[in-house]
């Protein structure tokens, strides 16, 4: 269907958000990915989250690397600037963009090839710096565009479409993100919109480095028996620690769940996360315990999903650097150039 342009027609009765935008205002070009690709579901979830949050579409900057996942920013938020950069380097481009203008929302979209192999270094360092962003890895365990090679997140023992068994250990990006100091860490599944949309919303509202690993089966190369990233496998082994309801500061607050099973987490911007706890013993604010929980369940072959960690008092790179409140890209010669008088003093000190 990719040869068809999206029709401009819109239903007059489409629901509008508080800014008066409809869902359509958050869409992008028609996807050129394979029919049924998990990535398209993530695109839909991003659109849904931005619509629900009433974000002005142009206040988002979408930045990606190279690969199937990195193509997706073309398919959502058509009125946002996007930057499809180079393979594995989305984090540095996003960091620079964020330094230039702290007022935009930064959505970094990457894949497991892009972030766990060639870009592992940049993935690690942007998290440890606390760049204020939402970093989504659309994780299918496979290189799609180059026709089905294993990626570094493919589980040891999983089988490729051609029948080759992966003998390398896999990288768990969620465990790494926890270890590297990301202040918001979640894992979700492209086939679980009910979980994914509020997770993305909460990550957008989070101030600091928010990382979401979204398992996203590749219908062309990694959706067969023997794969541990197929729809069937993930559905059977998904072990959600919580279900999330996101209530932005602009929404009426109605927490309609049984007290005791619900934990409400308030973020910097006043938004609230209502966590319906599924694993009674899971503490979403305990980084160390989260790592242990993750490892124990992985050993049992279970894929832990949900909001796994959120830091209550998170900070971002701008706070660490002590930068001015105004975006640096708005400063002109008046603010930036010290002028000849300061230079006279410097000259005098150099004689």
User: Residue numbers of the site for another protein (CB under 8 A)?
Assistant: 56-59, 61, 63, 73-74, 78-86, 89, 91-101, 103-104, 121-122, 124-125, 129, 317-318, 321-325, 328-329, 331-333, 335-340, 342-343, 346-347, 350-351
Nearest to 306 by CA among 285, 286, 278: 278
Q: Which long-range contacts (CB under 8 A, 24 or more apart) does 165-174 make?
A: 170/141, 171/116, 171/120, 172/294, 172/298, 173/112, 173/115, 173/116, 173/123, 173/137, 173/139, 173/211, 173/213, 174/211, 174/213, 174/294, 174/304, 174/308
E strands present in 48-145: 60-64, 81-84, 105-111, 133-139, 142-143
CA distances for 179 relative to 12, 17, 134, 185, 276, angstroms: 49, 38, 17, 10, 25
CA distances for 150 relative to 112, 162, 164, 263, angstroms: 10, 11, 9, 39
What is the nearest approach in angstroms of another protein to the Cβ of residue 133?
11
Nearest to 38 by CA among 136, 140, 153: 140
CB distance 85 to 65 below 8 Å: yes
By three-state DSSP, how is residue 143 classified?
A: strand
Nearest to 240 by CA among 163, 305, 327: 305
Phi/psi for 298 (5° steps) reads -65, -40
Q: Count of alpha carbons within 13 Å of 228, Cβ hemisphere only? A: 19
Toward another protein, which CB reaches closer, 70 or 166?
70
């Amino acid at each position: 269907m990719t040869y068809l342009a999206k029709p401009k027609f819109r239903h007059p009765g489409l629901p509008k958000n508080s800014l008066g935008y409809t869902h359509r205002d958050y869409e992008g070009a028609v996807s050129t990915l394979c029919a049924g690709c998990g990535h398209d579901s993530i695109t839909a979830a991003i659109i849904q989250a931005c619509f629900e949050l009433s974000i002005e579409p142009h206040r988002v900057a979408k930045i990606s690397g190279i690969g199937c996942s990195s193509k997706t920013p073309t398919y959502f938020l058509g009125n946002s600037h996007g930057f499809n950069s180079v393979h594995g380097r989305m984090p540095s481009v996003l960091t620079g963009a964020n330094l230039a203008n702290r007022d935009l929302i930064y959505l970094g979209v990457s894949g497991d090839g892009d972030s766990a192999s060639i870009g592992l270094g940049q993935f690690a360092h942007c998290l440890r710096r606390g760049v204020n962003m939402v970093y989504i890895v659309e994780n299918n365990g496979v290189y799609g565009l180059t026709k089905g090679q294993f990626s570094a997140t493919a589980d040891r023992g999983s089988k490729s479409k051609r029948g080759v068994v992966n003998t390398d250990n896999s990288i768990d990006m969620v465990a790494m993100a926890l270890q590297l100091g990301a202040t918001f860490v979640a894992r979700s599944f492209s086939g679980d919109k009910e979980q994914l949309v509020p997770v993305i919303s909460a990550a957008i509202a989070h101030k600091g480095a928010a990382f979401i690993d979204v398992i996203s089966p590749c219908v062309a190369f990694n959706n067969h028996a023997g794969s541990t990233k197929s729809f069937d496998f993930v559905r059977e082994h998904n072990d959600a620690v919580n279900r999330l309801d996101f209530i932005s500061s602009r929404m009426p607050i109605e927490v309609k769940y049984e007290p005791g099973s619900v934990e409400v987490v308030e973020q910097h911007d006043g938004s609230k996360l209502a966590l319906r706890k599924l694993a009674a013993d899971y503490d979403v604010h305990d980084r160390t315990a989260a790592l242990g929980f993750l490892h124990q369940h992985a050993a049992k072959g279970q894929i832990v999903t949900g909001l796994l960690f959120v830091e209550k008092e998170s900070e971002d790179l701008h706070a660490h650097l002590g930068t001015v409140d105004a975006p640096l890209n708005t400063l002109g010669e008046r603010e930036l150039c010290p002028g000849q008088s300061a230079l006279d003093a410097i000259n005098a000190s150099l004689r």
